[in-house]
């Protein structure tokens, strides 16, 4: 199994191109199931999760083509891919495929909308909490679906004539359920209103893709989405938005190590809450025509308290990275995780660097130290694994990060991007 080796202490200086967002690319790929015409996606990141979803979609009968690089394009430019679901040959998403990635469960919405039936395994993914699918099923039932659970599979059938529009009020915000119900409602008969919908930029990216395919959606970017069902969707060409979590991750890496980095293609408006917090730590942020510049000179890192919240709040997917940053702050900070109940598994690994962190339920207290020491650490999930890389970049001496397959799920070319900016980092083949 591959590992990453780092020698900490180098400032980061240069440019880092921001890849397409994993959390947008995956539902955009799934949206291809809604039409028998081709959907072309540009700026698709090269990730293990993308490859896994390709296998799942191909199992349903989707033809997938990866287009070659255009003249003059750099190797860091995302892929251009075509997804053509001319015929759905199988409405079952099997356990051996779905169990590896939670987002693959979202195929249930398009399959049910277009084929009026779906049999999808209960999902897998990172072990950061239970993350049940009750809100998905609640919404699909509201659209008229008949739902049964059979041997670990959700078996869903639409009534004769297909799904029917409904007024759905989510009891809590769910990105996955919003994606799924939004896609399903596009082909439902009548009007669907989704209240307390997620507002993440990735939701907007998918909604705008659906509109480009012929869907009728209003309220995009708000807590209330209104969808007028149509009989058929057509093909479209859509860009995957830049990854705001990657943007925040590299911004925090620069803040922790010092230096001056331009995050090319970054969209600051997609993570303004996190950037406001970073500014409070003493980091200088400047929006430029090409992206976001992050700069920290020799000044210390100031402690700041945060609480994770759905967008536009501080993203839970940046909590582990921010905790790594706070381990070297000049005081005590408090981090409250409100989204997932088991997202502090990185605490024990950060402690191996000498970090001083205590956890009491949802609240983590971080007592900053002037210096961390390199260590052997183990990645436990996608975002936790990159927090260990950030810590290793700033720690004195050698760090080895084990089980880095988690990183390959969500970060494209991580070692290359960091090494171009002066980090001493390499992948060790397992």
Q: Is 429 exposed, middle or buried (0-12, 13-18, 19+ CB in 10 A)?
A: exposed
Tell me, what's the pLDDT at 61? 98
CB count within 10 Å of CB 150 equals: 8
pLDDT at 384: 82
State residue 70's pLDDT score.
58
Residues sharing a CB contact under 8 Å with residue 264, sequence separation 6 or more, in sequence order: 15, 16, 17, 18, 290, 291
Q: Does the annotation flag 135 for ligand binding?
A: yes
pLDDT for 388: 96
386 annotated among ligand-binding-site residues = no
Say if residue 312 is preceded by a cis peptide, omega within 30 of 0: yes
Residue 131, annotated as binding a ligand? yes
Is 75 annotated as contributing to ligand binding?
Answer: no
pLDDT at 383: 74
Distance CA 180, CA 227 (A): 13
Element (H, E) at 255: helix 244-257
Q: What is the pLDDT of residue 77?
A: 63
Instruction: Supply the residues annotated as catalytic.
Output: 126
How much is the pLDDT for 126? Answer: 39
382 assigned to a ligand binding site: no
Structure tokens, 319: 């909590």
Domain-wise residue ranges, the chain: 3-18+242-428, 22-239
Residue ranges of the chain with pLDDT lower than 70? 69-77, 124-132, 341-342
- Specify the pLDDT at position 270: 97
First to last CA, the chain: 4
What is the longest distance spanned by two Cα atoms in the chain?
67
Which tens digit of pLDDT belongs to each residue from 247-273? 999 999 999 999 999 999 999 999 999
Tell me the C-alpha distance between 387 and 364, whole Å. Answer: 15
Is 238 annotated as belonging to a binding site? no
Architecture of the CATH domain 22-239: Alpha-beta prism (3.65)
Predicted pLDDT of residue 69: 65
Alpha helices (H) in 195-243, listed in sequence order: 201-212
Q: Which of 180, 124, 130, 181 is nearest to 152 (CA)?
A: 124
150 is in an annotated binding site: no
The response to whether 339 counts as a known ligand-binding position is yes
Sheet with 92-93: strands ordered across: 92-93, 117-121, 153-157, 146-150
Distance CA(346)–CA(355), nearest Å, equals: 11
CA distance 64 to 46: 14
pLDDT tens-place string over residues 338-371: 987 667 889 999 999 999 999 999 999 999 999 9
CB 207 within 8 A of CB 230: no
- Fold match, 3-18+242-428 / 22-239: yes
CATH class entry, domain 3-18+242-428:
alpha beta
Number of neighbours of residue 360 by Cβ within 10 angstroms: 7
């Amino acid at each position: 199994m591959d590992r990453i080796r780092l020698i900490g202490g180098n400032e980061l200086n240069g440019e880092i191109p921001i890849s397409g967002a994993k959390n947008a690319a995956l539902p955009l790929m799934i949206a291809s199931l809604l039409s028998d015409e081709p959907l072309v996606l540009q700026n698709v990141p090269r990730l293990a999760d993308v490859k896994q979803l390709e296998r799942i979609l191909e199992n349903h009968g989707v033809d997938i083509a990866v287009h070659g690089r255009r003249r003059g394009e750099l190797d860091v430019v995302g892929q251009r891919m075509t997804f053509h679901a001319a015929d759905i040959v199988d409405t079952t998403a099997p356990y051996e495929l779905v169990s590896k990635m939670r987002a693959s469960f979202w195929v249930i919405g398009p399959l049910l909308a277009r084929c009026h039936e779906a049999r999808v395994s209960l999902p897998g993914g990172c072990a950061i909490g239970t993350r049940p699918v009750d809100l998905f099923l609640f919404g699909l039932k509201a659209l008229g679906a008949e739902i049964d659970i059979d041997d670990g599979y959700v078996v869903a059938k639409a009534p004769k004539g297909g799904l029917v529009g409904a007024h759905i009020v989510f009891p809590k915000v769910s990105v996955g359920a919003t994606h799924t119900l939004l896609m399903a409602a596009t082909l439902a008969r009548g009007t669907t209103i989704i209240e307390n919908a997620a507002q993440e930029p990735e939701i907007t990216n998918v909604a705008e893709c659906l509109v480009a395919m012929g869907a009728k959606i209003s309220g995009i970017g708000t807590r209330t989405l209104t969808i007028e069902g149509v009989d058929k969707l057509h093909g479209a060409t859509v860009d995957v938005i830049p990854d705001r979590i990657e943007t925040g991750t590299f911004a925090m890496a620069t803040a922790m190590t010092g230096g001056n980095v331009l995050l090319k293609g970054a969209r600051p408006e997609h993570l303004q809450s996190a950037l406001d917090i970073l500014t409070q730590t003493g980091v200088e942020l400047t929006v430029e025509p090409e992206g976001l510049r992050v700069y920290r000179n020799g000044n210390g890192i100031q402690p700041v308290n945060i609480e994770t919240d759905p967008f536009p709040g501080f993203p839970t997917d940046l909590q582990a990275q921010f905790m790594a940053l706070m381990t070297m702050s000049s005081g005590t900070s408090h981090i409250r995780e409100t989204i997932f109940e088991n997202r502090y598994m990185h605490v024990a690994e950060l402690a191996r660097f000498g970090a001083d962190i205590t956890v009491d339920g949802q609240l983590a207290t971080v007592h900053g130290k002037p210096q961390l020491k390199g260590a052997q650490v183990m990645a436990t999930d996608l975002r936790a694994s990159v927090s260990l890389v950030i810590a290793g970049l700033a720690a004195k001496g050698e760090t080895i990060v084990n089980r880095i397959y988690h990183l390959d799920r969500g970060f494209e070319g991580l070692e290359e991007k960091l090494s171009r900016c002066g980090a001493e980092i390499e992948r060790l083949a397992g």
